Structure 1
Amino acid sequence: MFSGLSAFPLTPVNETEIDESAFSGLVSRLSEAGVDSIGALGSTGSYAYLTREERKRVAQLTVAAAGTTPVMIGIGSLRTAHVLALAEDAQNAGAAAVLLAPVSYQQLTAEEVFSLYEAVTRELSVPLCVYDNPGTTHFTFTDELHSRIAELPKIGSIKIPGVPVDPADATARVKSLRSQTPSMVTIGVSGDAFAATGLNAGCDVWYSVLAGVLPKPCLAITRASQNGDQDTAAELSNRLEPLWDLFRAHGSLRVVSAIAQHLGLVESPNLPLPVRGLDPAARTRVTAALEQVSDLV
């Protein structure tokens, strides 16, 4: 479950409903491509903008469209009681795992975050991936806190926010975290531009935004690293620099939304207001970047 390539699809939504047909198409496309798992209702899935009923429905749609591909469902919410309800919905839908970020409005303490994971894992029947994403949660995990949480039952993986650019520093970072967590807890890299470096540094899984819409190049990078061909993994990632540059400029959500629309996979609008898609000039840049990497996708 927590190895290889985990693809995170967009949840196409407008102000009245989720585009269920488009979403199911995105998920089935990932399963057919051969990704190792599918992560619905992550940040790319706009989980924080959806109601419980909408999230319950997305979980059901994901499991139905994924076929035999394992599904992980995001359950982050502001209150512990709400997280527990979402976890129940995800498990009832048939999720193989859940993904939990320490979502907050008030700044959380380390002890409060630990108590969240403690309460949730106590009730789970499926494994949990710790979602370390300070860019959205504004909470920064320490390795000490990761170590404490990783000792809880049902913790299966830690999704870290990128690694150092230098390969030696990245390897040291991954080794340090691994030395402080149980061997059965995998370490996954996010921040797609860092993924090849993270995989080459010893991360077990790539939790990927881009793979949710362009699985082919992400699979090529992942399989190259898994096969010990680190140079090819790094080279393929470098070839995708036009896309990484757009991610840095506009944020990955808006860029993958534009890519999905360009490919005819979703309609417009497909993001929850007040979040808006890219303006025409930026969409032109997306089209140009896709042309630059067309041989890979």
Structure 2
Amino acid sequence: MLTENHPHAWKPEHANEHLDPDFRRTYMPPGSRLVVTPDMTRLIGGMPTALDRCTATVVSGPWGSGKSTLLQSLAAVSDVNTVLVEIPESAGATRAQWDVLTTAITGSATGTAHQLQHAARDYLAAVPTLLIVDEAQHLSHAALRQLRWLWTSRLPRFAIVLAGSNLNAHLDKEPSLATRVNQRILLRTHSTELMVKRLQASHPDLAATRPQLLELIDQAYGNGVWRNHSEMLLKAALELGHTGPLTHEVAEEVIYDRTGAPLALTPAGARTSALKKAGR
């Protein structure tokens, strides 16, 4: 989150330099950088208007499609109070979900669900806020209807981003919610061609890796999913100490450790460390 009217506010090309350090350390291989995507540009570029109009945006996509990275990028270049909260699956009751939401918004939560909702609204009426709710597919329809009350209350400056897996289908079961969403961004897995291009743009070592190897890795393991590739690269760097362009041997060893299956990326007959581990 940036200071108000910061020159980098709402500019996706600056998200990389303001990204949360804990997120970078946990999910991004050392030396990597964010890749600005059309979805990122659309989400971030539309947020000043969303705040002025007090509207809701939905980000939906399968596991590993880049939702968390997209949300972190948005938070990185926001110049208003930004609350990023994740709804745990264990918070099944509406009261428990409002406990999570109100604690994230105000810093504390006491009382009934109704009291928690009003405490959140009172805070938001006083403090311009971007509320980002991840794993929103876990929210009950009752909690979602109550959240809708917030973004239709015409608060001075407020916007909400709801993100989750298959979230559109969850929202569409409740017409009063579905018709109150101003923008929807649907994330998908990438084709191998696009995945390779974005991998190359994300890290100098991957830019120096043979494209044919990156294609094989995506087809055998990555499947167009960002999370699969980032976890593979983190393991190669942090556990194997690998630096420089990826090699067949390193890729096979990491993929075997991740999946338990010796996936042959090298020409037929080659003996790799992964195959040796499997005792074959």
Fold match, TM over 0.5? no
Q: TM-score range by the shorter chain?
A: 0.3 to 0.5
After TM superposition, the score normalised by the length of structure 1 is 0.36
After TM superposition, the score normalised by the length of structure 2 is 0.38
Greater Rg, structure 1 or structure 2?
Answer: 2
Q: Higher relative CO (CA 8 A, sep ≥ 6), structure 1 or 2?
A: 2
